[in-house]
Amino acid sequence: MRKLFLLACLWFAALACPVFAAEPIAIENAAIRLRFDAASGAGRLTDKRTGESWDLNPPAVAAKGQTAAPVKPASARLDGSIVRFSAGPRLSWEVKLFDNAVEYSYQAAADIDEVLLLDRSLTIEAGAQNYYAVPHRLGNLLPVEGEQPITRRMRAYTRGGYSMAMYGVVKNGSALLVTWEPPYADVIVDYAVAPVRRITSSIALRRGTRGFRILPLGRGGYVEIAKAYRPIARERGLLRTLAEKLGEHPAAARFFGAADFKPFAFIRRMPNTRFNKSDKETLTVNFTFEECARLAEHFRNDLGIDRALLVLNGWINGGYDVRHPDILPAAPEIGGDTGLAECRRRVKALDGWSFGLHDNYQDFYRDAPSWDEQYIARGPDGSLIKAGIWFGGQAYFMCSQKALEIAARPQNIPAVRRLFAPDLYFSDTIFAVAPQVCFAPEHPLDRAADIRYKQQLSGYIRKEIGLFGSEEGMEWGVPYADYFEGILSHKTGYQRLNDAQWTTADIIVPLFEIVYGDAIAMYTHQSDRPRPDNPAHILDLMLYAEMPVYYFGNHLYWTDPAQNYQPPAGSDARLVFARGGSLGLTDQFIKNTYEVLSPLNRLTGLLPMTDHRFLTPDRKVESTRFGGDVRITVNFGAAGYDAGAAMLPQWGFLVESPALTAFYATRYRDMQFSAPTFMVLRSLDGKPLDESARVRIYRATGDRRVPLGGRVEEVDTERVVTRGL
């Protein structure tokens, strides 16, 4: 062992010791200046538009089983627009200057496991305009603050890692973007407190990813960083906007303004798990298929929900979430195949509603009649790879090479299509689990292949059923899906602490929404549903112009006084969106919030998010812009905020656009209200509100008066104002 240690030290020493001395190497163009110390390999990048400079430290490398050690070049030379470094036959790297970017690439010996071409580089210190912007889920800002040092290693396409292959750095208001070809790259962000507070980053590359690019952007921040990544995402085939998808797939328009109602119909909890600590399985029937149909009819006919998804959970044989992938016949305990088909018929009879089913082609359970180890992914030692322990007990990962074969079996997707003809299908966990490696000799795959096979699976289900979605959301799924369920829960707070390295102190920003918001519908997780006493959840959705996965009761809850929502003690001030009308708290909350969220989502469905700002130092007031003329301002803070056209109390909001205005405010324009007022004004003919011949006004709570087109209109609950006819 000591001999191996000495050999390793000698090997790294051979890479680390320069054998020459040379003049600095400098290269530049109109936008960028590069300067390298030939002996150490350390460099400096200057954005000539701002004059800001960034440090580029020399690489570090790690042999298999070793920690990374720094490397210095044995030679360095300038070859046109390329600076070439060599640390001997085992490692060489290049830095190439383009018109608007710097590209790093490398070649390494087979026993080098990882190369950090950027090693603790791009340093920023404390400052009001200094931070990192990283694509953890929706996106986080990392300012130079905090009492404890921390290292975050962001792995490719994981909930605790990065959702897009990029990150940004802002230094004194000067921005740059770093991007690479995934999935064999990790981003390591280090926060140090001594000798000074600072953040640095490293990019750890393995053989599947050969380099990265740095794009200086001039003056800007995280919004400009996300916008700069959009054309790169398009070039990689990841950005296909909804406008483009609609040309091939018109049914995707069903998502514009559609609330997601997802009943957990039938649940079977296997014994001796965290969900059921007893020795016997438990069965829970929350809805029969007939009750699911009545649920949809209640929302459509009694609440006026005219566009929605009804996605059934726990419809499969055995209930949620067992016996996958053997899903048929549909659970006889709640109506069987006949009941499910009739449920689908009744839901489809509701104009504007879509019928969907929740399934899973990643988890395999031993109690499935078709259980066979040949389908399961294997680790390096040949063992079966375990997935999570869920209601059905211990699950195992299907190898993604085999998942499409299973989904395409006659008794799976083809039978579901024939028997129930759903409009959409939700196949769980596909976008939520990190790219897998399978070592089974019959079906080996690496991470890149795993992504390709999952894309094929997604594409197959989408082609067979019509509309498709899965859990969480990663950029590689955008072209192959119509909606993501879960990524928006980063904003609403659910599972924000899923990875210990991320804390509530991290500042959430809509990087993913700016890049892909006009390419895919985004929802919160099925377990993250807004209740009447959670106005912050609604403001989060409103800010991003997305739709909710609504909370509601079981069975025919609206007919059962025992299921009336009982808000926690002391929560009266948070019931602002559940007041007014004659409905119970749950239904009034759904009705009121749908009246603003649905028209807003329809308006912005094809528009990219073009701006996001924190409007107060405590970040309690935020605003977004979609396209050129839709602006949304929300106030989470206890202090009132003057948004110009409206004065916003806590939980107040203002939606401003030519054809849609909505607010919860104490003042709108020049009118001071007698009480905080919640109103939605929507043009029905597409003209600006002040010119429209038909304007629908919905009032939830507060004053009955509202200024419109130079007049004061009064409304009790809802009214269509007609003018000039």
Check if the beta carbon of residue 33 is closer than 8 Å to that of residue 46: yes
Beta strands in 172-220 (DSSP E): 174-180, 185-192, 198-205, 211-219
- Specify the 3-state DSSP secondary structure of 150: strand
Going from the C-alpha of 216 to that of each of 49, 174, 221, the distances in angstroms are 9, 8, 11
Cα–Cα distance for residue pair 521/482, rounded to 1 Å: 6
With 0-12 / 13-18 / 19 or more C-beta atoms within 10 angstroms meaning exposed / middle / buried, residue 723 is: middle
Positive or negative, the CA dihedral 214, 216, 221, 223 is negative
Helix (H, G, I), strand (E, B) or coil at 613: strand
Confidence of residue 23 (pLDDT cuts 50, 70, 90): confident
Which whole-number Å values give the CA distances from 591 to 162, 225, 300, 536, in the listed order? 36, 37, 10, 17
Exposure b/e, 31-54, CB count within 10 A at least 16 = b: bbbbbbbbbebbbebbbeebebeb
Mean pLDDT comparison of 10-14, 65-69, 504-508, 546-550, highest-scoring range? 546-550
Token pair of 77 as six digits: 């030379």
Burial class of residue 140, CB neighbours in 10 A (0-12, 13-18, 19+) = buried
What pLDDT does residue 505 have?
Answer: 63
Continuous segment of H or E residues that includes residue 342: helix 336-348
* Residue 370 confidence (pLDDT) above 80: yes
pLDDT of residue 22: 63
Expressed in percent and rounded to 5, the helix, strand and coil fractions of the chain are 25, 35, 40
Question: Tens digit of pLDDT for each residue in 324-362?
Answer: 999 999 999 999 999 999 999 999 999 999 999 999 999
Q: What gap in Å lies between CA 150 and CA 20, rounded to an integer? A: 37
pLDDT, mean of residues 79-93? 94
Residue 163 to residue 175: CA distance in whole angstroms:
20
CB neighbourhood size of 83 (10 A): 25
> 536: helix, coil or strand?
helix
Tokens standing for residue 136: 């953890």
With tokens 């979605």, the residue in question is 469
Q: Is the pLDDT of residue 496 over 80?
A: no
Tokens standing for residue 183: 């999935």
Question: What value does the CA radius of gyration of the chain take, rounded to a whole number of Å?
Answer: 28
Place of tokens 């009649």: 369
CA distance 671 to 706: 7
Q: What DSSP line would sit under 531-561, residue for residue?
A: -TT-HHHHHHHHHHT---B----SSSGGG-G
- Kindly give the residue spans of alpha helices, DSSP state H, lying in 249-335: 289-303
3-state secondary structure 638-691: CCCEECCCEEECCCCEEEECCCEEEEEEEEECCEEEEEEEEEEEEECCCCCCCC
ω into 567 cis (within 30 of 0):
no
Under a CB-based contact definition with an 8 Å cutoff, are residues 68 and 114 in contact? yes
Question: What type of residue is 724?
Answer: G
Do residues 417 and 465 lie in contact, with contact meaning Cβ atoms separated by under 8 Å? yes
Is the pLDDT confidence value at 17 over 80? no
**Which tokens hold the place of 397?**
């990962």
State pLDDT tens for residues 546-565.
999 999 999 999 999 999 99
Which helix H or strand E contains 2, and what residues bound it? helix 2-16
Helix (H, G, I), strand (E, B) or coil at 88: coil
Tokens of 140: 């986080």
- The two three-digit tokens of residue 698, written as one number: 């919905």
* CA–CA gap between residue 487 and residue 489 (Å, rounded): 5
How far CA 350 is from CA of 218, 301, 311, in Å, comes to 52, 9, 14
Sheet holding 211-219, edge to edge: 75-79, 82-86, 91-97, 102-108, 211-219, 174-180, 166-171, 131-134, 140-143, 507-508
In degrees, to the nearest 5, what angle opens at C-alpha 311 toward C-alphas 499 and 163?
30
Q: Where are the beta strands (DSSP E) in 550-620?
A: 609-614
| 457's tokens | 């699976």
Longest alpha-carbon distance in the chain: 94
Q: Read off the pLDDT of each residue in 301-310 and give the average, rounded to a whole number.
A: 98
Which pLDDT tens digit goes with each residue over 514-537?
Answer: 999 999 999 999 999 999 999 999
* Distance from C-alpha of 76 to C-alpha of 24, rounded to nearest angstrom: 10
Q: Which residues of 290-325 are buried (b: 16+ CB within 10 A; e: fewer)?
A: ebbbbbbebbbeebebbbbbbbbbbbbbbbbbbbbb
pLDDT digit string, tens, across residues 662-672: 999 999 999 99
Percent of the chain past pLDDT 70, that is, above it, reads 95
Rounded (10°) CA dihedral 236, 237, 241, 242: -150
DSSP label at residue 322:
-
Q: What is the pLDDT at residue 503?
A: 56
- For residue 61, give the nearest of 12, 7, 14 by alpha carbon: 12
pLDDT band at 494, cuts 50/70/90?
low
- Kindly report, residue by residue over 457-484, the tens digit of the pLDDT: 999 999 999 999 999 999 999 999 999 9
263 three-state secondary structure: coil
Q: What is the band of 207 on the pLDDT scale with cuts at 50, 70, 90?
A: confident
Confidence of residue 183 (pLDDT cuts 50, 70, 90): very high
406-459 per-position pLDDT tens digit? 999 999 999 999 999 999 999 999 999 999 999 999 999 999 999 999 999 999
